[in-house]
């Protein structure tokens, strides 16, 4: 196990990772650098009430969150198999990444793993095409994400990328 990371600050290069998506395909952050902006959405647990509501909001307003210039990657410590069932049940069309093993390693590198629960805190990192953090928000367990500032940050990222 690595040492707990610190939460990347605006301007920092985002820690690289490769994780399986809910279909088992490897998704590497490095492969997206230079090609697209990225929205990393860490959430505690598949099938939980708040997380389901948040990912439904992304699904239902996907044009607000993801387009040709921004790729959403949702990350939890759930297994790929659980994520596949959840994605199929909810109709999530963006990648759900499994930070399952080594358990929580990516969330730990981003400084958002709650070691007591073994789950990530609610955290969002917007990365520019160079892989640098341009906006971030980290919440507490049990607190729903406020998508207002998230949408404004995405609009600003689109405006500067154009």
Q: What is the pLDDT of residue 4?
A: 60
51 is catalytic: yes
- Three-class SS state of 40: strand
Q: Which residue in this structure is represented by tokens 């909001």?
A: 57
Q: What is the pLDDT of residue 54?
A: 87
Six token digits for residue 89:
């049940």
Q: What is the pLDDT of residue 162?
A: 58
Phi/psi for 92 (5° steps) reads -80, 125
Terminal alpha carbon distance of the chain: 40
Per-residue pLDDT of the chain (162 residues; tens, 9 = 90+): 344 679 999 999 999 999 999 999 999 999 999 999 999 999 999 988 778 888 888 888 767 777 778 899 999 999 999 999 999 999 998 999 999 999 999 999 999 999 999 999 999 999 999 999 999 999 877 788 888 888 888 888 888 865
Phi/psi for 114 (5° steps) reads -85, 105
pTM greater than 0.75: yes
Catalytic pick from 51, 112, 127, 133? 51
Q: Which helix (H) or strand (E) holds 63?
A: helix 62-65
Q: How many helices (H) and strands (E) does the chain have?
A: 6, 9
Q: What is the pLDDT of residue 6?
A: 92
Six token digits for residue 87:
């994605």
Residue 24 CA to residue 17 CA, distance in Å, equals 15
- Three-class SS state of 88: helix
Query: How many CB atoms within 10 Å of residue 75?
Result: 26
Question: For the chain, what's the residue count?
Answer: 162
Q: What is the pLDDT of residue 12?
A: 97
């Amino acid at each position: 196990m690595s040492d707990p990371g610190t939460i990347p600050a605006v301007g920092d290069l985002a820690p690289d990772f490769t994780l399986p998506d809910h279909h088992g395909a490897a998704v590497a952050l490095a492969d997206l650098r230079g090609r697209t902006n990225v929205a990393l959405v860490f959430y505690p647990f598949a099938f939980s009430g708040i997380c389901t509501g948040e990912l439904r909001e992304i699904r239902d307003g996907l044009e607000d969150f993801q387009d040709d210039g921004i790729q959403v990657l949702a990350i939890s410590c759930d297994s790929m198999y659980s994520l596949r069932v959840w994605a199929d049940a909810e109709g999530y069309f963006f990648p759900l990444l499994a930070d399952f093993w080594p358990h929580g390693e990516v969330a730990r590198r981003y400084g958002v793993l709650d070691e007591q629960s073994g789950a990530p805190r609610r955290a969002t990192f917007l990365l520019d095409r160079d892989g640098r953090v341009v906006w971030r928000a980290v919440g507490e367990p049990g607190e729903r994400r406020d998508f207002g500032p998230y949408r404004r940050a995405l609009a600003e990222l689109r405006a500067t990328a154009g």
